[in-house]
Amino acid sequence: MGGFPILSLMLLVPMLGALACLFSGAKAARTIALAATLIDLALGLLLWANYDVGGAQWQFVERAPLFSQFQWALGIDGIALMLIVLSVFLMPICILASWDAIETRVGEYMAAFLFMETLIIGVFSAQDLFLFYIFFEAGLIPMYLIIGIWGGANRIYASYKFFLYTLLGSVLMLIAMLWMANHAGTTDIPTLMAYDFPAGAQTWLWLAFFASFAVKMPMWPVHTWLPDAHVQAPTAGSVILAGVLLKMGGYGFIRFSLPMFPEASAQLVWLIWGLSIAAVVITSLIALVQHDMKKLIAYSSVAHMAIVTMGLFAFNVQGLEGAMIVMLSHGLVSGALFLCVGVIYDRLHTREIARYGGLAINMPKYALFFLLFTMASIGLPGTSGFVGEFLSLAGIYQANTWVAAAGTLGIILGAAYMLYLYWRVAFGVQRNADAAAMPDLNTREWLMLGSIAAAVLWMGVYPESFLAPIRKDIAALDARVSSAAPESDSRLVIGQAQAAPAEDAAHGGAH
């Protein structure tokens, strides 16, 4: 790509679109927003097409010393590339999802979304510690406004909770970042990823980053903002929240916690595992008893994110790759599920599961898509969910069988609550006349769900497209983590058991 600053351009386009939306009427704002997100999607695909798989670790690098103590440093590796592509893919869909649903203050709404897109791309492409923090934190403002202005009945409470929870998590991370910059004498993320912090300090730094990423992720027990925020956010807000914002936590673990503090990661792995086990079981059980569709999917998000953290802290390639694929898959699937809820919410204006039933009769196309995404969420082979969950669980099994067992239990519970949800909404008798009279998908909705469905099947059938760009980066991360961190006991035991016959033979030959 030469020196063309494509990442800056991707940040600039939605930014300018946001400013234009702020000062234009409803109709113009929708068009501007769609155009800006589509341009960014095109740029994102261009980025993917020009990404040199197996080339330099950091590509599309841009540096400009604009500020006094940090610089405008952008650049991506395969992990960031995939997450950026996911974001720019979901964004036009979010705009389409709010096409008719949002009627008040459309300009401000679209501006908030475009501003959000700028910040998301910024988070994934920032190569300077403080630039990352600014993008990471700034997302609070548009999301606060989106939940608070266009949310449901209890939106004020949800917006406060979202804002203050995430802010408290992040400010501690800022102190840790200041300490790191002071100690290492640089704010360059690639340099810091190879920097060895003293083991004693690592624990504290790791905990400070954990405070931020665990809230963003969200991990049990600091997940309680998520169901509130989701239920009250408009459909597109939920899509972007589940699809992309939650990935910032996972991205943070991959980019900061693991490579920068490998010793502390290994030392505190029990914390992550414990919380992940608690999350996957408890939130799955909570999801089983929900009456509100969005809340159910929100809790399922927490459970899926627990699978991600298990995979990330398995300290092996399968676990890390699986975690990445679960993140991408969950971005698509949970986004699509929220869209499915949005489709029927737009028609009946309720999220009560009991108000629906038998939708397969009057909305067959909708029922088909909903079924596909339900299955993808459960992890049916052939969908994206299977690839990610299988790899993650295979990875964590090598590290700790008990955690793997709990993770599997969560998958089973996931099948239970998702199938139960689908049964109540789409099958059975048509209990309510108004629900039975709802029209099937229109072209706009078909387009949104269809494009995500294609991506889900692509990722499920040929995951290599998505694994290839991240393979080298995952391998580098694995080398960094496994060389620095002691492996867990249970993994060692399994390793010997598998290798035992071959080893005996080798020994026999040698003697």
Binding site for other proteins (CB under 8 A): 66-69, 105, 108, 130, 133-135, 137-138, 140-141, 144-145, 148-149, 155-156, 159-160, 163-164, 167-168, 171-172, 174-175, 178-179, 181-182
How many Å apart are CA 117 and CA 115, to the nearest integer? 5
Going through 217-269 in order, the beta strands assigned E by DSSP cover none
Shortest distance, CB of residue 65 to other proteins, whole angstroms?
Answer: 8
Shortest distance, CB of residue 3 to other proteins, whole angstroms?
Answer: 22
Shortest distance, CB of residue 156 to other proteins, whole angstroms?
Answer: 6
Closer CB to other proteins, residue 22 or residue 415? 22
Shortest distance, CB of residue 232 to other proteins, whole angstroms?
Answer: 11
Residue with tokens 């040698």: 510
Closer CB to other proteins, residue 182 or residue 483? 182
Residue with tokens 């927490």: 302
Closer CB to other proteins, residue 72 or residue 458? 72
How many Å apart are CA 323 and CA 393, to the nearest integer? 9
How many Å apart are CA 423 and CA 426, to the nearest integer? 6
Closer CB to other proteins, residue 99 or residue 179? 179
Shortest distance, CB of residue 373 to other proteins, whole angstroms?
Answer: 32
Shortest distance, CB of residue 182 to other proteins, whole angstroms?
Answer: 5
How many Å apart are CA 370 and CA 339, to the nearest integer? 9
| Helix segments in 51-105, DSSP class H | 78-97
DSSP per-residue string spanning 123-146: HHHB-BHHHHHHHHHHTHHHHHHH
Residue with tokens 């995430």: 166
Closer CB to other proteins, residue 89 or residue 135? 135
How many Å apart are CA 300 and CA 285, to the nearest integer? 10
Q: How many CB atoms lie within 10 A of CB 143?
A: 24
**Of how many residues is the chain composed?**
511
Closer CB to other proteins, residue 124 or residue 144? 144
Shortest distance, CB of residue 138 to other proteins, whole angstroms?
Answer: 5
Task: Write the CB contacts of 441 (distance below 8 Å, at least 6 apart in sequence).
Answer: 343, 363, 365, 366, 369, 449
Closer CB to other proteins, residue 162 or residue 466? 162
Distance of CA 131 to the CA centre of its chain: 20
